[in-house]
Each structure stands twice: as structure tokens, then as C-alpha cells.
Amino acid sequence: MRAFERLYRHHIGSVYGLCLRMTRDRAGAEDCAQEAFLNAWRALKRFETRSSFGTWLHRIAVNVVLSRRRKAAARADMPPLPADPDEEPADAPGRWTLDTPVEVREIEAAVAALPDGARDALVLCGIYGYSHPEAAQMLGVAEGTCKAQLHRARALLRARLEPESHQS
């Protein structure tokens, strides 16, 4: 139990950040993160050391988010609430480091505005550093679909964030 508590404390920021970026909703991200840890606790005996615990836990968190998204879509066809970019914990990985005049809020808002598939691919590959095969497996899509979604996300972000003076 103590070891799992340490794992929880070590990984909660990362799992919550992943869930927040995918759900765009603080309360939903908190629920998904908690559910991911509950699912991990229940499945701990099935954990295989082929991947790191963090990677395994991220896979569980992605599954929780996608499952909740499917359930919500089945209940109602309502768009998700926009995320508040100030809500992500400061210790979550993937925080932006900028050498450009674009503000962090603009980037976070642009990422939050992406279509689900494009945002998911960007979060997993572009922010958390998963390979296309790993992200595709987590999302339950073909690797080519993951690559296309990441390309789409980058193009949409570029179009939205490019300074006015460079647009033609």
C-alpha cells in the first residue's frame, strides 16, 4: 500500500496533466486521473515490466479518457467545456518552454481548440513523447491515422498561432 502511495504521488501530476489536455475540463481530468489510479490498483498484478510503470499508467489514463468520451457522446452531443490553461499543475511534464513571442495561454487555448483526434495525437506524441506506434495503440487507431492526426494538429496550430505579419 505504501509503495502504491509513493507511485501515486510520483505520477499524479503527469497523469492529471495528460487527462486535462485530453478532456479540456479540470473536474473531468481529476475524475479521470483518480479512475486511472483505481484501475491501475485493480490491475497491478497484471502489470508486466515490458514498459515502465509510467507508460502503463498513461495507457490506463488514455483508456479512461476515451471511455468517458464515448459514454458522454452516447448520452448527449454536447461540446466539451474549454480548458482553463492555468489549471494544469506546474510539475506536470510537457510544460511549454518558449523562445517566441506567443504566450503560453495562446498555445494552450489553441491545443484545447483542436478536434479530439488531432489533440490526442499531439498530446501523446508531441507533448508526452510517445512514438506513433505507442500512441496509435493507446488511442486504438492505425499508426497512419495517428501520424495524419498529428500532422493535422500541427498544421492547425501553425495556422492559428502564426503571427499576422507572416500570414498571406
Q: How far apart are CA 31 and CA 154, in angstroms?
A: 28
Query: 91 in the Ramachandran plot: left (φ > 0), alpha (ψ -120 to 50) or beta?
Result: alpha
- Residue pLDDT, tens place only, 108-138: 888 989 999 999 999 999 888 999 999 999 9
What is the per-residue pLDDT across 42-75, written as a single tens digit (0 to 9) for each? 999 999 888 899 999 999 999 999 999 888 877 6
pLDDT digits over 84-96, tens only? 444 444 444 444 4
> Domains in the chain, please, with CATH?
1-93 (1.10.1740.10), 96-168 (1.10.10.10)
d(CA 82, CA 116): 12
Q: How many CA atoms lie within 13 A of 155 on its CB side?
A: 8
How much of the chain, in percent, has pLDDT values that exceed 70? Answer: 80
